[in-house]
Structures are given as structure tokens and as C-alpha cells.
Amino acid sequence: MKIAIVGLGYVGLPLSIQFAKSSATVLGLDIDTSKVDALNQGNSYIKHIPSESIAELVRSGKFSASTDFSRIHEVSAIIICVPTPLNKNREPDISYILDTGKSIARHLQKGTLVVLESTTYPGTTDEDLREVLEIGSGLEAGRDFNLAFSPEREDPGNPDSKVALIPKVVGGFTPACLERARQLYLMAVKTVVPVSSCRAAEATKLLENTFRGVNIALVNELKVVYSAMGIDIWEVIGAAKTKPFGFMPFYPGPGLGGHCIPIDPFYLTWKAREYGQNTRFIELAGEVNTSMPTYVVHRVADAMNERSKSLKGSSILVLGLAYKPNVDDERESPSYVLMEMLRGRGATVAYYDPYVPVIRPTREHKHWAGTKSIEWNRKTVESFDCVLIATNHACVNYQELAEWAGSIVDTRNAMAGISTRPGQVWKA
Ligand SMILES: NC(=O)c1ccc[n+]([C@@H]2O[C@H](COP(=O)([O-])OP(=O)(O)OC[C@H]3O[C@@H](n4cnc5c(N)ncnc54)[C@H](O)[C@@H]3O)[C@@H](O)[C@H]2O)c1
């Protein structure tokens, strides 16, 4: 069986590898020619995905990449994993899904299965995508081709997270669509969880991510409250998580990052308005989480003040640009917000991140493109007035940091267990 996976990004590439390792042959489709060329030469462009795993599949003919959507006629199933960002008014931008739908529709054959994986609001698959597919192909969903939604549950950088072992939720446009999609995923994953509709599957993903966003907001709020009381939130969470039932630990940080948690809940908020519904928890959580960088910058100012310095004129090193540890993905990272706020207050800012040696061009932070990570050595680190830990990559030597840095503001509890000087570390 040959399938196409459209969008060879952080979601589509690992999924392609997973399917290509099964009995399926995978045609990866993307509009980015540099990614397509790299993959066809067996090179990964994502740090936590080894090139060797791609090279082997390319050599054996199980995986190839292309920008040519007319090759859709070669496959019996298509999985779409394209971006779903927010626009500048923080409203859903499903244009990537619709563009992909149009590119596919022209070449869609009777009997093909189309599955959307991009995170989005309920109704995208059976309203928006269905419409472009039907208009562009002249075929009818449910009768001439199958349509389904299955949310991605990728956990980048987590070595224990194996695509094959993560249960896959699937909803179909019709019962027959669901069954086709179920059979497809069972080729590559162990457990498929069928739900009654595409909308239920879309809503499941939004529940999962909203759950994270709300709980992170809760611990972020408690961090500030407990800090004022002289209580360490990290110690409290560590103790609370020993409860064997009814508690799940979430950890505070400098603000939300990544392509999912800061964005997806607002897809739901937007759609809820169409039904006259409010999403107060989501709005409140968003408010608390987006206020975190301001809190962190205040803590940096306090740390500088303690050393009789002002933020203006200080030099601050932001440690960690990626939005989470041990990955090279810095999209939507709160580190950008921190760097901009610190610079806005008159500080000189640099960053260190072994996963992001140079900042690539992004939609949101164009002016940082080309900025390079500093070198990790005593002389360079010592030259900064303060090091702000925004991401706790495991490969960073925090003992060296304690020896080299003046002040350290730690938003991730990265300095726990490291011997430091009194007053050197400020939790934020
Ligand atoms: N990254 C994650 O951890 C994660 C986890 C769960 C769900 N998701 C969701 O999965 C979806 C994809 O996210 P991602 O992180 O893989 O994005 P990404 O930006 O890493 O990759 C998307 C890919 O799609 C390509 N693309 C864009 N428009 C296209 C088009 N019209 N035709 C073909 N290719 C096109 C881009 O060139 C890129 O290679 C999003 O909806 C996201 O919310 C992401």
C-alpha cells in the first residue's frame, strides 16, 4: 500500500518514518523544496530525528519526498500534517489546510482516503476541508472518497515517546470512513481509539491541549503567590506528586511556547463564539500564562537591583531558546518575548542554545534571524551580569554555570541540586 503524507514537519516526518517502517510505502509531499531535497538525500533537518533512519528508508525505496502533488494518483490514502497557526488578530488560520486541500483535490481519485491530522477547531474536516476537496475534485465525501480526522500526539524530544505506542484517536465522516482510517493507522500504531465523528476527534485534541494550558496557568499563578509567601512552588509540586491518585504534576515556566499549547485553545475559543459560548477558563489561563514573561523580567530586575545595577545597561544571557528542553524547535518560544522585553528595558541581550546555533527566519521573529548562540566558555559566560535560564536542556553543564555566572534567574528549577553561592540563584 502506498500512502502520501503532506507536510513533512515535526509531525509529518516522524509519522512518515513510522509508516515507512510498516508494510506501507510513503510519498512525502511538501511545498518546501529544501526539505524535500534534504530528505531525498537521506538528511534529517530535525535534530532529534537521526538522518540514518531516513537514509535507510530512502535507500530501500520505502520513503521518498516530492513537491509534485500530481503524484497523489499513486496513493490510496493521504494524511495531512500542515501548520495551523493564529493570524495577527490571534484567530485561526486554516489557510494551509485549505491550500493543501486544493492541491490534492485536482488529483484526487475515487476510493482514496483523506485524513487530516493538523490541530484545529471542530468542523474543519467535515465543513471546510470537505468543501474544497469536493469542489476541486467533483467527487463526494463518504460516497466517492473517504474522509477522517485523527489528531497528532507527538511529544518531540521525549525519548520514551514512541509513535507506534501512542494510542491514535480517529473520527470518520461516515462509519465506512472511520473503518478505512482505523485500518490505515493499525498498520503503524498499536492502538486506535475510534470516536463517533471527525468533530469529536477534533474536540479531543483541543481538550488535551487546553487541559495542559489551564493546568500550567494554575501552577504559574501559584508560583507567584507562593513566592510572595516565601514558599518554593517546585518543592510543593514535588511533594504533591507523591499522592498516588487525583493529582498530576504540571510545572511553571517563563510563559507558554511551542506550536500547540499557546495556540490550540484559541481555535476552540474562536469556534465557540459562533455558538454564542464563552470559554472563560481558556481566556483566564491565557491571561495568566502570557503575563509570565513580565513577572520573569521583574525578577531579573530584582536580581540586578540586589547587585546595585539597573536592567538598563546590564548584559543578560538567555539560556535556552527552544521552547522545551532537548529539542531544536524555537517557534513561539517565550525566550523571544523575554529577549525583546529585556532589550526594551535597555539591557544588552544574547542567547546560548546548543540546539539552535543560529536563529532561522520565522514568521513571528524576523528581526532575530541570523543571530548566533554565544560560545559556552568561562570567559564569555562570566562577561554577563545575569544568566536567565528559560529552557533547561539536559546537555548544559549547570555546575559550570554556577561557577562562571554572577546572578542566575532560574525559571525551570534547573539549578536544583547544584552547589551555588548564597543569593546567586533567583527563582522566577
Ligand atoms: N509540533 C508538535 O509537537 C505538534 C504536536 C501535535 C500536533 N501538532 C499539529 O500538527 C500540525 C503540523 O505541525 P508541525 O509542528 O509538524 O508543523 P511544521 O511547521 O513543522 O511542518 C509543517 C510542514 O508543512 C509544510 N507545508 C505548509 N503548507 C503546505 C502545503 N500547502 N502543502 C504541503 N506542505 C505544506 C511546511 O513546509 C512544513 O514542512 C499543526 O496543526 C500542529 O498544531 C504539532
Q: If you average pLDDT over residues 338-342, what whole number do you get?
A: 97
| Separation of CA 213 and ligand 1 centre (Å) | 20
- What's the confidence (pLDDT) of residue 198? 98
Residue 58 CB less than 6 A away from ligand 1: no
Asked if pLDDT for residue 11 goes beyond 80, the answer is yes
Asked if pLDDT for residue 158 goes beyond 80, the answer is no
Residue 262 CB less than 6 A away from ligand 1: no
What single DSSP character describes residue 168? E
pLDDT, one tens digit per residue, over 44-90 is 988 888 999 999 999 999 999 999 999 999 999 999 999 999 998 88
Give the integer Cα–Cα distance in Å for 7 and 38: 14
Residue 332 CB less than 6 A away from ligand 1: no
Give the integer Cα–Cα distance in Å for 298 and 182: 51
The one-letter code for the residue type at 115 is V
Give me the phi and psi of 415, to 5 degrees please: -90, 5
- What's the confidence (pLDDT) of residue 259? 79
| Separation of CA 303 and ligand 1 centre (Å) | 39
**Helix or strand (DSSP H, E) at 78:** strand 77-80
pLDDT, one tens digit per residue, over 248-304 is 999 999 998 887 888 899 899 999 999 999 999 999 999 999 999 999 999 999 999
Asked if pLDDT for residue 93 goes beyond 90, the answer is yes
The DSSP secondary structure of 90-112, one letter per residue, reads S-B--HHHHHHHHHHHTT--TT-
| Separation of CA 118 and ligand 1 centre (Å) | 7
Asked if pLDDT for residue 124 goes beyond 80, the answer is yes
Give the integer Cα–Cα distance in Å for 208 and 27: 30
Residue 8 CB less than 6 A away from ligand 1: yes
pLDDT, one tens digit per residue, over 175-199 is 999 999 999 999 999 999 999 999 9
| Separation of CA 12 and ligand 1 centre (Å) | 7
Residue 32 CB less than 6 A away from ligand 1: yes
**Helix or strand (DSSP H, E) at 194:** strand 192-195
227-231, 243-247, 361-365, 421-425: segment of lowest average pLDDT? 361-365
Count of Cβ atoms closer than 10 Å to residue 394 Cβ = 9
The one-letter code for the residue type at 166 is I
Give me the phi and psi of 86, to 5 degrees please: -105, 150
Nearest alpha carbon, ligand 1 atom 41: 118
- Asked if residues 322 and 329 have their Cβ atoms less than 8 Å apart, the reply is yes
Q: Which atom of ligand 1 is nearest to the CA of 11?
A: 16
pLDDT, one tens digit per residue, over 369-428 is 999 999 999 999 999 999 999 999 999 999 999 999 999 999 999 999 999 999 999 999
| Separation of CA 301 and ligand 1 centre (Å) | 37
- Mean pLDDT value across the chain: 95
User: Would you state the cell numbers that stand for residue 270, as one nine-digit string?
Assistant: 474562536
| Residues belonging to the active site | 260
Q: Which atom of ligand 1 is nearest to the CA of 84?
A: 41
Residue 124 CB less than 6 A away from ligand 1: no
Four-point Cα dihedral 337, 341, 344, 345, nearest 10: -160
| Separation of CA 298 and ligand 1 centre (Å) | 35
Give the integer Cα–Cα distance in Å for 251 and 412: 8
| Best of 39, 84, 152, 263 for a ligand 1 pocket test (most atoms within 8 Å of beta carbon) | 152
- What's the confidence (pLDDT) of residue 162? 79
Measured over the CA atoms of residue 186, residue 191, residue 193 and residue 199, the dihedral's sign is negative
- What's the confidence (pLDDT) of residue 257? 85
- What's the confidence (pLDDT) of residue 215? 97
pLDDT, one tens digit per residue, over 352-372 is 999 999 998 877 788 899 999
Residue 6 CB less than 6 A away from ligand 1: yes
- What's the confidence (pLDDT) of residue 157? 74
Residue with cell 520514551: 160
- What's the confidence (pLDDT) of residue 262? 84
Work out the burial of residue 274: count CB atoms within 10 Å of its CB; fewer than 13 is exposed, 13-18 middle, 19 or more buried.
Answer: exposed
Give the integer Cα–Cα distance in Å for 427 and 409: 6
Residue 68 CB less than 6 A away from ligand 1: no
Distance (Å) of CA 361 to CA 72, 95, 119, 147: 30, 20, 23, 35
pLDDT, one tens digit per residue, over 128-145 is 999 999 999 999 999 999
What single DSSP character describes residue 416? T
